[in-house]
Amino acid sequence: MYKTCIEVDSLSLHRHKLKKLCISLTSQSDHPLLVLCGTKNKITNSEHWIPKLYFRIASCLLSCCDLKCRVFKNKLIFTKLSSCFCGIIPPVAQQLHRENIQRIVREALSLSKVSPSELSAIATTIKPGLALSLGVGLSFSLQLVNQFKKPFIPIHHMEAHALTIRLTNKVEFPFLVLLISGGHCLLALVRGVSDFLLLGKSLDIAPGDMLDKVARRLSLIKHPECSTMSGGKAIEHLAKQGNKLHFDFKPPMQRAKNCDFSFSGLQHVIDKTIMQKEIEEGIEKGQILSSAADIAAAVQHTIACHIAKRTHRAILFCKQRNLLSQSNAVLVVSGGVASNLYIRKALEIITDATQCTLLCPPPRLCTDNGIMVAWNGVERLHAGLGILYDTEGIRYEPKCPLGVDISKEVGEAAIRVPRLKMKI
């Protein structure tokens, strides 16, 4: 479907830290849609997180009568602009975004050979995320909206994640979605384009955030095989060489019969274990433990079991309440952590046991990207939902839950999850 994939520019302000600015666009369109989305991410070179700003800009093809087909048949050019703001204070990064955003949109439009007047709508992520990045994206979009007199489609970042699968697979509503990344962790029932029931979420940090912290604590950036990988990827890579049985970390929240998650307690236990091992091995913080691979394997196994168990309960809850199709229940898993094959296998055990179909968007679409926001715009345009012709009073929302939160009801159902052998 995607015929071309080109790196447009690489603006490296810091060698090791990559900040992504993405533009994705399609060409030969009757009704293009320009999408601007801003979200937060984190980068660090120490124990402290430094906010990382994201902007993704996409223009997507669509035809109002036969929307999906047109998107599928058309050529899609995906361009990426990378830069980095490591060590730069957010207002400076914000200024850089301001300066870049105009050029990026110009390049996107010029590459797609689409003039702004030909756009059918402008879609922009306005919630949730880092205020500074959402603000730049929104104010720039509104300028375009007013200048070219286009309808505006505000996008919820998580909704965009959840719907991406419908770009590549024929998935009907309702379906269950598990979003696991560096910034999110939630389970939701998707009943329609903008109709979500939130079944559970992380009470503290996201699994990718935790894996990044553990990888940093293990100094995996100094490991010759892992130095260029994200924290989560480094843990997955090293875990293959380790023995998970050498450490016994307990999956969190074993007694809470709901679908919420927690990772920070486990992370502290792991931190303590690493400190103890450093003393035992007589090495300084910052050097790589001989048991790093075993720790990675045990950490990966523990979070895989935790995620699988909460997901298992969500499936059982939905089945019990008849919220999912009895004959063709679908679980969609997305977000950066979903590219972890060990975690996917753990989820496969659950979907096999519950006769569900497990679907993951391709890794490139699984993570934060412009295409998912573009697709969300297409879905909304198609459904005639949330298309604004008057943007008066529109605001970005740094915090915004997804859908109707029924996690309390899920907890009250106190569903027992049968024990499954997690032989991965």
Q: Which residues bind ligand KG4 (CB under 6 A)?
A: 41, 181-183, 208-209, 211-212, 230-233, 236, 335-337, 339-340, 367-368
**Whole-number minimum distance, CB 328 to Zn ion, in Å?**
27
Query: What are the CA-CA distances from residue 73 to residues 42, 69, 185 (Å)?
Result: 36, 6, 33
Residue 38 binds which entry of Zn ion, ligand KG4, none, CB below 5-8 Å type-dependent: none
What residue 337 binds from ligand KG4, Zn ion, none (CB within 5 to 8 A, per partner kind)? ligand KG4
Of these partners, Zn ion, ligand KG4, none, which one is at the site of residue 41 (CB under 5 to 8 Å by kind)?
ligand KG4
Helices assigned H by DSSP within 321-419? 341-353, 363-366, 370-383, 407-413
160: DSSP letter: H
CB of 216 to ligand KG4, least distance (A): 10
Amino acid (1-letter code) at residue 233: K
- Choose between 212 and 368: whose C-beta lies nearer to Zn ion: 368
Segment 406-411 long-range contacts (CB within 8 Å, at least 24 positions apart): 406/197, 406/198, 406/199, 407/198, 407/199, 407/200, 407/201, 407/258, 407/259, 407/260, 410/199, 410/200, 410/258, 410/259, 410/313, 410/314, 410/317, 411/256, 411/257, 411/258, 411/259, 411/260
212 binds, among Zn ion, ligand KG4, none (CB under 5 to 8 A by kind): ligand KG4
β-sheet bridge partners, residue 35:
58, 123
For residue 374, give the nearest of 107, 59, 79 by alpha carbon: 59
d(CA 123, CA 140): 11
Q: Are 22 and 107 in contact (CB under 8 A)?
A: no
Q: What are phi and psi of 123, to 5 degrees?
A: -115, 135
CB 258 within 8 A of CB 407: yes
Q: Please identify, using beta-carbon distances, which residue of 200 and 370 lies nearer to Zn ion.
A: 370
Nearer to ligand KG4, 242 or 335 (CB): 335
Q: Which among ligand KG4, Zn ion, none contacts residue 379 (Cβ within 5 to 8 A by kind)?
A: none
Question: Please, what is the minimum distance in Å from the beta carbon of residue 110 to Zn ion?
Answer: 28
CB of 258 to Zn ion, least distance (A): 23
Number of Cβ within 10 Å of residue 208's Cβ equals 27
- From the list Zn ion, ligand KG4, none, which binds 291 (C-beta under 5 to 8 Å, kind-based)? none
Within positions 196 to 255, which residues make up the interface with Zn ion, using CB under 5 A? none
For the CB of residue 291, give the shortest distance to ligand KG4 in the complex, in Å.
20
Q: Which does 231 bind (CB under 5 to 8 A by kind): ligand KG4, Zn ion, none?
A: ligand KG4
CB of 179 to Zn ion, least distance (A): 7
Nearer to ligand KG4 (CB atom), residue 331 or residue 366: 366
Q: What is the dihedral of CA 398, 402, 407, 409, to 10 degrees?
A: 130
Q: Which is nearer to ligand KG4, 294 or 368 (CB)?
A: 368
Cβ distance to ligand KG4 smaller for residue 182 or 242: 182
* Shortest distance in whole angstroms from residue 59 CB to ligand KG4: 21
List the one residue out of 207, 188, 185, 215 whose CA is nearest residue 199. Answer: 188
* Phi, psi of 230, rounded to the nearest 5 degrees: -70, 165
Answer with the entry of Zn ion, ligand KG4, none that 125 interacts with (C-beta below 5 to 8 A by kind): none
Three-state DSSP class for 355? coil
Nearest approach, Cβ of residue 368 and Zn ion (Å)? 4
Considering CB distances under 5 to 8 angstroms, the limit depending on partner class, which of ligand KG4, Zn ion, none binds residue 294? none
Closest CA to 363 of 355, 354, 374, 372: 372
159 binds Zn ion (CB under 5 A): no
Q: Is 368 in the site for Zn ion (CB under 5 A)?
A: yes
DSSP for 388-408, written as a single string: BS--TT----S----SEE-HH
Nearer to Zn ion, 210 or 356 (CB): 210
Tokens 């207002």 belong to residue:
91
- Interface region with Zn ion, contact rule CB under 5 A, candidates 9-17, 248-256, 352-360, 365-373: 365-373
Helix residue ranges per DSSP H, 199-263: 207-217, 231-239
Question: What does 309 interact with, of ligand KG4, Zn ion, none (CB < 5 to 8 A by kind)?
Answer: none
Compare residues 120 and 230 and give the one whose CB is closer to ligand KG4.
230
Tell me the closest approach of the beta carbon of residue 309 to ligand KG4, in angstroms. 18
Binding site for Zn ion (CB under 5 A): 368
